[in-house]
């Protein structure tokens, strides 16, 4: 209390109301897996938990779907025997689509590698376990999910799930959604899971089965398919005797596909064409050049990149297309080849490339050589490019010795400026040449993208035509699509958790809810088959079924944790409600740390918690005709604490809650009644 010494009127504000409990969010999953990229503003996001709010943001930061290069094994009757998607079939991208399509919102992403990285369990600093370790320090996530963990071997999958459950038990603010393997033998997958998941911390986990077949059509390209019969690789055109189909494959679809492949070969797998070029410009900008000879190498790299792109488009691709002089190819030439020449002319490639030749011949003052290499293989491609551009544009305007008077004058003026040091002269010349290359690259990039888009359109057209007239190819595409769309259910289940929490509350069991964007479960289960999943008489490890119901769709039809025999923690909704209340009350009670451990503080703490739980009772989360029947909060000397507890600084608050539990088995009892009148 303040000491008053001067006569005056003083105002004191007295706090009478107890603090409030600020409720934490309940459905913020953390997804661990592999993505196309992981960067924001040039900074890597690999192994950094990153919060996002939408699928658009996911694609911006983590990229698109994994590449599709399936191997299809055919039997002697040309029926699809199996589809091998390889060891690097990544599941996080489509699982995120299921999450958002089923009601998901805010979540965390931990990218532990890109699509060139083989899925691995790893350790505390690498692999999927490395991503899990990073989440220990994140307070907000409440659900742990890793669809890509199913790509690991069985033992590694269960090791990850055990450690995820252990993290949940340690932090007490999250649960783990477990996926089973999808080997094709459902009973074996269930048995392996129960035998290997262990018995620790099961109340913090929930498992779901079977996998789902998502409704996400894939763009499967002919150029990405590998067909096999036994160990022998076979060509698609060998599977038909139709001349029309062979023609379409070899003279239309294949040239379009080869064109796109040639264009894609220009770009590093982990980059884009612009990023490649920008990195070369940056390397030039970061250099220090005391003489013109010092800058020639980095400048040559920039110019060579543009030349390589033009060679690929105007020479390699152009030459690979059928000769227009051959009448049998007129149909394709009228499409793809003319598109290419139109793109080159629209982008003013000849005049743009002319600028680079001018700077190649400008008076830099190199001790020897010029910007472009003009001898050996590199020189041959440069000569071929000039020849091809002259042919396409119907002239012989460009030569390797072309000069520009204005550029020559500008360079000579720089040399004549006595106030400039040799280093300044070199850098001024280099900057002019660099800026010209940047300007030219913009036109080259437009040509590249326009032609790639044109080739892609024709490829899609030819693909559609082939599917229409070639039933065997259509069957192959359908089988591959089905295999690619088989996804573990954890992503969809996390979305269901979020939707139920938002619409009803975390105390409502996330079951009897339909799953969106799926065709159905991979394995159809009936009531008899679900019995052994729902109730495990050996160890109580309940596994929640996802079932297809006629007229209803695909429903989550189970609400149990892995501790299915535990009367306290049997249900997912009870576990997650306790997590929410425990975390909310814990965070809201920090104000009381180091407060006097006396009745005044006890009353404030008790009132704060009671007010919060009364609201939960009104919301329907707690069962009871009155608050006294729904919960209790106890604190005080002789009630929850002894004198020793107070001396040792402990304030013990006991909270009991009668959380509502789902009506899992509804039994309707009918009987006959005797007639009374």
The pLDDT assigned to 88 comes to 58
Mean pLDDT of 400-409: 86
User: Residue 355: inside a domain, yes or no?
Assistant: yes
Q: Which residue in this structure is represented by tokens 């990218």?
A: 111
For residues 300 and 160, state if they share a domain: no
In total, how many domains does the chain have?
3
Per-residue pLDDT of 661-673, as tens digits, reads 999 999 999 999 9
pLDDT for 320: 64
The predicted pLDDT at position 323 comes to 57
Residue 330 has pLDDT above 60, yes or no: no
DSSP 3-state of 439: helix
Say whether pLDDT at 329 is over 60: no
Residue 630 in domain = yes
Most confident of 42-51, 243-252, 317-326, 344-353: 42-51
Reply yes or no on whether the pLDDT at 452 is more than 80: no
Clarify whether residues 60 and 175 are in a common domain. yes
pLDDT at 246: 86
Same domain, 345 and 445: yes
pLDDT at 37 (0 to 100):
92
Mark out the alpha helices in 311-421 (DSSP H runs): 318-320, 330-332, 338-346, 349-360, 376-392, 405-416
> Is residue 129's pLDDT more than 50?
yes
Share of the chain above pLDDT 90, in %: 55
User: Is pLDDT of 208 > 70?
Assistant: yes
Between strands 631-635 and 39-40, the pairing is unpaired
565 & 641 share domain: no
pLDDT reported for residue 333: 46
Q: Token digits for 362?
A: 């400008």
Among the listed residues 17, 22, 15, 60, the one whose alpha carbon sits nearest the alpha carbon of residue 38: 60
Strands in 495-638 per DSSP E = 513-514, 518-521, 544-549, 553-556, 631-635
For the ranges 277-281, 321-325, 329-333, the one whose mean pLDDT is highest = 277-281
Span 18-32, average pLDDT: 94
- Residue 91: CB partners within 8 Å, gap ≥ 6? 33, 147, 148, 150, 151, 487, 488
- Here the tokens at position 2 are 């303040």
Assess contact for 289 and 366: CB atoms under 8 A: no
Helix (H, G, I), strand (E, B) or coil at 544: strand
The verdict on 188 and 47 lying in the same domain is yes
pLDDT in tens, 359-379: 888 888 888 888 888 766 666
Indicate whether 157 and 277 sit together in one domain. Answer: no
Highest-confidence range of 198-212, 281-295, 351-365, by mean pLDDT? 198-212
Rounded Cα–Cα distance for residues 187 and 376 (Å): 65
Bridge partners for 208 per DSSP: 179, 544
Same domain, 424 and 489: no
State whether 282 and 348 are in the same domain: yes
Distances (CA, A) of 122 to 88, 145, 584: 16, 17, 34
Q: Are 561 and 606 part of one and the same domain? A: no
Residues 129, 163 contacting (CB under 8 angstroms): yes
Mean pLDDT of the chain: 89
Q: Strands (DSSP E) along 112-231, which ranges?
A: 143-145, 175-179, 205-209, 212-214, 226-229
Tell me, yes or no, whether 554 lies in a domain: yes
What CATH number did the domain enclosing 118 receive? 3.40.50.11780
Going from the C-alpha of 562 to that of each of 100, 204, 411, 658, the distances in angstroms are 25, 8, 77, 21
**What does the pLDDT read at residue 378?**
63
**SS3 state at 666:** coil
Does position 647 have pLDDT exceeding 60, yes or no?
A: yes
Between 174 and 306, the higher pLDDT residue: 174
276 and 188 in a single domain? The answer is: no
Give domain status of residue 225, yes or no: no
Taking the C-alpha atoms of residue 577 and residue 655, their distance in angstroms, rounded to an integer, is 14
* Same domain as 332, residue 276: yes
Report how far Cα 602 is from the mean position of its chain's Cα atoms: 48
- Locus of tokens 């105002």: 11
Tokens matching residue 279: 């990195």
Which range in 38-42, 234-238, 352-356, 581-585 is most confidently predicted, on average pLDDT?
Answer: 581-585
Instruction: Please indicate, yes or no, if residue 577 is contained in any of the structural domains.
Output: no
Q: How confident is the model at residue 252 (pLDDT cuts 50, 70, 90)?
A: confident
The Cα–Cα gap between 504 and 513 comes to: 12
Torsion of CA 576, 577, 583, 588, to 10 degrees: 160
Q: End of a domain among 423, 444, 459?
A: 459
**Is 358 part of any domain?**
yes
Please tell me the total number of residues recorded for the chain in this structure: 677
Q: Kindly state whether residues 299 and 336 are assigned to the same domain.
A: yes
Distance CA(641)–CA(331), nearest Å, equals 91
Which of 496, 438, 477, 661 lies closest to 567 in space, CA to CA?
Answer: 661
Average pLDDT over residues 240-265: 79
| Arithmetic mean of pLDDT, 70-76 | 87
3-state secondary structure of 26: coil
Which structural domain range is residue 179 located in? 29-218+484-572
Does any domain span residue 224? no
Strands 513-514 and 205-209: unpaired
Q: What single DSSP character describes residue 110?
A: E
Q: Residue 417 falls within a domain, yes or no?
A: yes
User: Model pTM greater than 0.95?
Assistant: no
Per the CB < 8 A criterion, the answer to whether 235 and 253 are in contact is no
Helix or strand or coil: residue 407? helix
The Cα 228–Cα 158 span in angstroms is 34
Q: Which residue has the higher pLDDT, 289 or 336?
A: 289
Angstrom distance (rounded) from CA 325 to CA 123: 62
Cα–Cα dist 673/569, whole Å = 40
What lies within 8 Å, CB to CB, of 442 at 6+ separation is: none
Query: In this predicted structure, what is the pLDDT of residue 556?
Result: 98
User: For 391-418, what is the mean pLDDT?
Assistant: 84
> Which pLDDT band, with edges at 50, 70 and 90, does 335 fall under?
low
Question: How far apart, in whole angstroms, are the C-alpha atoms of residue 342 and residue 320?
Answer: 17
- Mean pLDDT score, 533-548: 95
Q: Three-state SS across 298-320?
A: HHHHHHHHHHHHHHHHHHHHHHH
Q: How confident is the model at residue 212 (pLDDT cuts 50, 70, 90)?
A: very high
Task: Name which of 17-31, 77-91, 640-654 the model is least confident about.
Answer: 77-91
Q: What confidence score (pLDDT) does residue 156 get?
A: 96
């Amino acid at each position: 209390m303040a000491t008053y010494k001067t006569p005056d009127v003083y105002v004191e504000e007295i706090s009478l109301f107890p603090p409030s409990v600020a409720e934490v969010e309940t459905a913020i999953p953390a997804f661990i897996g592999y993505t196309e990229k992981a960067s924001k503003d040039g900074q890597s996001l690999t192994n950094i938990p990153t919060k996002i709010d939408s699928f658009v943001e996911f694609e911006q930061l983590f990229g698109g779907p994994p590449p599709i290069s399936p191997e299809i094994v055919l039997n002697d009757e040309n029926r699809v025997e199996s589809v091998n998607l390889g060891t690097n079939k990544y599941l996080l991208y489509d699982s995120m689509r299921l999450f958002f399509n089923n009601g998901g919102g805010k979540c965390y992403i931990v990218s532990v590698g890109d699509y060139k990285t083989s899925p691995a369990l790893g350790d505390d600093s690498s692999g999927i376990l490395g991503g899990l370790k990073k989440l220990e320090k994140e307070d907000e996530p409440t659900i742990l999910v890793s669809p890509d963990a199913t790509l690991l071997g069985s033992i590694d999958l269960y090791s990850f799930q055990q450690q995820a459950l252990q993290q949940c038990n340690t932090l007490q603010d999250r649960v783990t959604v477990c996926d089973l393997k999808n080997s094709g033998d459902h009973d074996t997958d269930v048995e392996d899971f129960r035998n290997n998941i262990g018995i620790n911390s099961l109340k913090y986990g929930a498992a779901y089965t079977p996998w789902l077949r998502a409704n996400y059509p894939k763009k499967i390209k002919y150029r990405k398919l590998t067909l096999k019969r036994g160990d022998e690789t076979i060509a698609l055109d060998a599977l038909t005797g139709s001349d029309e189909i062979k023609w379409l494959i070899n003279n239309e679809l294949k040239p379009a596909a080869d064109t796109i492949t040639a264009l894609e070969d220009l770009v590093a797998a982990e980059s884009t064409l612009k990023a490649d070029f920008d990195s070369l410009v940056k390397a030039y900008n970061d250099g220090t050049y005391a003489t013109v000879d010092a800058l020639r190498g980095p400048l040559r790299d920039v110019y060579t990149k543009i030349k390589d792109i033009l060679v690929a488009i105007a020479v390699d691709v152009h030459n690979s297309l059928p000769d227009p002089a051959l009448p049998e190819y007129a149909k394709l030439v009228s499409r793809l080849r003319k598109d290419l020449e139109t793109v080159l002319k629209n982008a003013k490639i000849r005049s743009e490339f002319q600028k680079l030749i001018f700077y190649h011949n400008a008076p830099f003052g190199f001790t020897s050589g010029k910007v472009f290499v003009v001898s050996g293989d590199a020189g041959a491609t440069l000569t071929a490019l000039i020849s091809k551009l002259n042919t396409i544009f119907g002239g012989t305007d460009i030569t390797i010795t072309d000069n520009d008077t204005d550029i020559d004058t500008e360079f000579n003026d720089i040399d004549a400026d006595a106030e400039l040091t040799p280093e300044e002269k070199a850098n001024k010349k280099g900057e002019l040449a660099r800026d010209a290359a940047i300007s030219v690259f913009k036109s080259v990039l437009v040509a590249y993208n326009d032609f790639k888009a044109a080739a892609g359109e024709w490829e899609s057209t030819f693909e559609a035509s082939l599917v229409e007239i070639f039933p065997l190819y259509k069957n192959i595409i359908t089988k591959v699509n089905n295999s690619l769309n088989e996804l573990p259910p954890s992503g969809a289940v996390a979305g269901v958790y979020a939707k139920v929490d938002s619409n009803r509350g975390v105390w409502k069991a996330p079951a009897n809810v339909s799953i969106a964007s799926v065709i159905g479960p991979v394995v159809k289960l009936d009531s008899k088959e679900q019995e052994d999943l729902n109730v495990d008489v050996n160890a109580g490890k309940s596994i929640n079924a996802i079932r297809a119901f006629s007229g209803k769709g695909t429903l989550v039809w189970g609400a149990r944790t892995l501790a299915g025999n535990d009367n306290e923690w049997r249900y997912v909704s009870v576990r997650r409600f306790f997590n929410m209340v425990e975390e909310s009350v814990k965070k809201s009670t920090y104000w009381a740390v180091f407060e006097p451990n006396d009745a005044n503080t006890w009353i404030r703490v008790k009132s704060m918690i009671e007010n919060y739980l009364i609201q939960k009772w009104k919301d329907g989360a707690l069962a009871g005709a009155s608050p006294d029947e729904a919960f209790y909060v106890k604190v005080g000397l002789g009630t929850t604490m002894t004198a020793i507890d107070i001396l040792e600084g402990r304030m013990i608050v006991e909270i009991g809650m009668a959380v509502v539990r789902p009506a899992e088995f509804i039994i309707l009892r009918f009987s006959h009644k005797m007639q009374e009148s």
